[in-house]
Structure 1
């Protein structure tokens, strides 16, 4: 056997890479709903937002090796939740309900009272593999299917009746009650009540709840309907929005304002590689959801949901790359802390019509340290600068397709100011309280772009990196310019300003030895003369 060409990384570096992946997506289970009904919370009481994908048939179509590859890729892209069917019917591409290993979900077709242990053992493994990567699984226990047709289990559930479906719900609840990374999704692409299946759906949910009250429940209706439009039932904990690029903004607004409040996720829009959808449409659904007050967005791919033969080509695409940038920017500004500007008190003109696809959405962080706007098309917008905390504000344009940003300038937080998009296509506008010293908005824990070679300010190195207990930082900026070097955590919070003086024009060094910080990923940011440079460092204890 030919010897493999293996690159052996130092153990310390391997540990740093693993640590970076874990700290980027770690969520403390179980999830709960905030007392005001607005947010998903983890066990620490922190707001949780879902930057998610939709591999509906993950547990049926892929081998274990392929599942691991898929999950590793998505985790590396910052995805922290996935939408999956517990069981697949024979109405799809393979014409079989069997998984890739030839196992049917039931020992007798459609007999919910005779689940096949071999089939569900593989499902168990898939869910636990996601858990090990910090990924929440939203799972339909019995996917009914569009129009209650042969793509789902609607006919079989109706034939079984509520008693048998309640028994199956108990069986599912008992099997997964100790698996922490699950949210149950009832229905599945359909209004069950329109097809006489609501008693069966209620029985499934109630059966799970009889034995497991810890996991949250939501529902998936059909397009242009929220979960509560079709499943306004006592077991509902979360709402869902299901729309497309023509109506997403108004659908999100209506779902956000629905009483009583309930955390809402954008569970489905139009998918990449389907219906000749544009890249701007894919991005707009995500940004409208985040800035519209929702607690999550699910990105879909026509190559991934049923795992076509070329499914790997759907792993790294224009859409997935833009979703990485989307997650990175919002993580740097605290997605879970954003409050939508539906009254247009912040963006006072240029926002367009919320009933169409040209709507410019705006949200403000609860502490008013940041304003974020998404503009789906070029325009000039007017911002009420007094809605930003502090006396001065920094502004950036960000290209959501490339993840790159350009600094606009620093302005007084009084009166109004017009901002005009710098080019064609869609753009993100970020305005920050200058005194908050937030990290550059396109810099997050999973995507740090190299500083341009022609930048006048550079963080040249950190040695060693990763480090414990100290590292030597080297940086350079033009002589006489005021230079600040500061350290931020992965959420963009300023931890320490370690240099604040005039630059010499030569390479300068200093030793940073943090105290009281846990192991993790941190960012060293140098800023001078309106330019910045950022370097990621890892602290290992």
Structure 2
């Protein structure tokens, strides 16, 4: 018994240490980026594992987290009170979140499983963007399961409880909301009550990093309701699941707001998703759709990007009711092309100083639009230009330092490079990518 007790204590201690192994995140000094508590630049490459706590066993969660970490992801977005009947259908440990469905009676066994997953994520170097609840627990709308359990009082009490539970867990970013646009000031007040309570219990604004997950809309952003809230550290977009959305305009809509805050495209078009929820007419999205949304978002000013796979967010498996026609089970979808290609976006962006990046369309003579969009971002001595369809373009030079620039074409599909001869940094110069057309996107990299 004594030996068993020692083993248990060691196990508990290991979980505690793992959960603290990552530095906490905060807004960077430019108010455009995220950095660690040690002021190291951080690139958000997220995945939507919404049903992670609800549907996966420990072994399955370990497989999922290990795979995403190996693919270069840095953040997993997951929901405590899950969308798919998360209050009544037990998790893989046969537990529900609340006793008798009462949000003032948390079920410790359920939350121990959440604890374990968060700690396991930290052990793989992953942060958890933690949604305390999905939005249907406030407002079911036409498709939500609910039930609607939150008002200001219950939101505040639950926020206080969960904020206190995870106040010392450094690999958490708090995400209020959950795919619901506030209908009125009452909804805003409920979300505000939850956010404020979490902040207070977790130690104050300086101890938390927080945002809000909205629905697609004209702005597709959290900003119309919460931009000036003191708990709101960065804005999040959901640009939705249609093809060739003007993500650059939506990112820029928040990028130009005052006070200046970072912005993230936190739910774009997923891979292997029915385009516009209409597979019969538009088919399913692919890696090219994902790459375009990713590079156009980041080059417009998003401090990172969240990927999603339609089968993975719901962790679809045989025997489970499929949501909107996933093509194959989640474990067979982890290695989809897009999921493996986004590491090259992170690889590219972390080669350059993330703090101080500036989107700059003035450098492009004709930025085009829609399927052929061309988007540019620069620093003091480097310029990155993404061409979504490999179209030739002219640049107005002189925007970065140096009289002569070195350059190469960067392949978003493979991370490979094709070197260019030295380029004059004067007047207007024309550039022609190595290939053109659908699935032939490229990044021009110039530096002095």
For the criterion TM > 0.5, the same-fold answer is: yes
Matches within 5 A, 1:78-477: 78-91=72-85, 96-109=88-101, 111-145=102-136, 148-149=140-141, 151=144, 153=146, 155-157=148-150, 161-194=151-184, 196-212=186-202, 213=204, 214-224=207-217, 225-232=220-227, 233-244=229-240, 245-275=244-274, 276-309=284-317, 310-342=329-361, 344=362, 346-347=363-364, 349-353=365-369, 356-365=370-379, 367-368=380-381, 370-424=382-436, 425-433=440-448
For residues 449-489 of structure 1, what are the alpha-carbon distances to aligned partners after superposition, in whole Å with 9 as ceiling and x for unaligned? Answer: xxxxxxxxxxxxxxxxxxxxxxxxxxxxxxxxxxxxxxxxx
Larger relative CO (CA 8 A, sep 6+): 1 or 2? 2
- Counterpart CA distance in 2 for 1:50 and 1:154 is 32
Is 1:66 the counterpart of 2:56? The answer is no
Q: List alignment gaps of at least 5 residues for structure 1.
A: 1-21, 434-541
CA contact (8 A) 2:273 2:310 kept: yes
Query: SS at the partner of 2:398?
Result: helix
Query: SS at the partner of 2:133?
Result: coil
- Counterpart CA distance in 1 for 2:189 and 2:121 is 31
Q: CA deviation at 1:357?
A: 4.3
Cα 1:278–1:89, aligned 2, differ >3 Å: closer, same or farther? closer
CA contact (8 A) 2:82 2:133 kept: no
Query: SS at the partner of 2:395?
Result: strand
Q: CA deviation at 1:337?
A: 4.2
Which residue matches 1:7? Answer: none
TM-score (norm 1): 0.69
Query: SS at the partner of 1:145?
Result: helix
Higher helix share: 2
For residues 312-357 of structure 1, what are the alpha-carbon distances to aligned partners after superposition, in whole Å with 9 as ceiling and x for unaligned? Answer: 1221111112212211122223444421103x1x22x13113xx34
- Counterpart CA distance in 2 for 1:238 and 1:413 is 35
Aligned CA RMSD, in angstroms, stands at 2.3
CA contact (8 A) 1:247 1:357 kept: no
- Counterpart CA distance in 1 for 2:61 and 2:77 is 14
- Counterpart CA distance in 2 for 1:385 and 1:313 is 46
Of 14, 22, 30, the residue aligned with 2:24 is 30
- Counterpart CA distance in 2 for 1:27 and 1:46 is 15
Q: CA deviation at 1:272?
A: 0.6
Query: SS at the partner of 2:419?
Result: strand
Higher strand share: 1
Cα 1:152–1:238, aligned 2, differ >3 Å: closer, same or farther? farther
Q: List alignment gaps of at least 5 residues for structure 2.
A: 1-17, 275-283, 318-328
Which residue matches 1:51? Answer: 45
- Counterpart CA distance in 1 for 2:105 and 2:21 is 35
- Counterpart CA distance in 2 for 1:229 and 1:395 is 40
Cα 1:96–1:155, aligned 2, differ >3 Å: closer, same or farther? closer
CA contact (8 A) 1:28 1:44 kept: no
Q: CA deviation at 1:133?
A: 1.8
Matches within 5 A, 1:515-530: none
- Counterpart CA distance in 1 for 2:70 and 2:182 is 36
Cα 1:117–1:27, aligned 2, differ >3 Å: closer, same or farther? closer
Q: CA deviation at 1:222?
A: 0.7
For residues 394-453 of structure 1, what are the alpha-carbon distances to aligned partners after superposition, in whole Å with 9 as ceiling and x for unaligned? Answer: 2211221232221122123222210012212211111122xxxxxxxxxxxxxxxxxxxx
Higher radius of gyration, 1 or 2: 1
CA contact (8 A) 1:84 1:138 kept: yes
- Counterpart CA distance in 1 for 2:185 and 2:79 is 20
- Counterpart CA distance in 2 for 1:55 and 1:100 is 15
Which residue matches 2:12? Answer: none
- Counterpart CA distance in 1 for 2:373 and 2:262 is 22
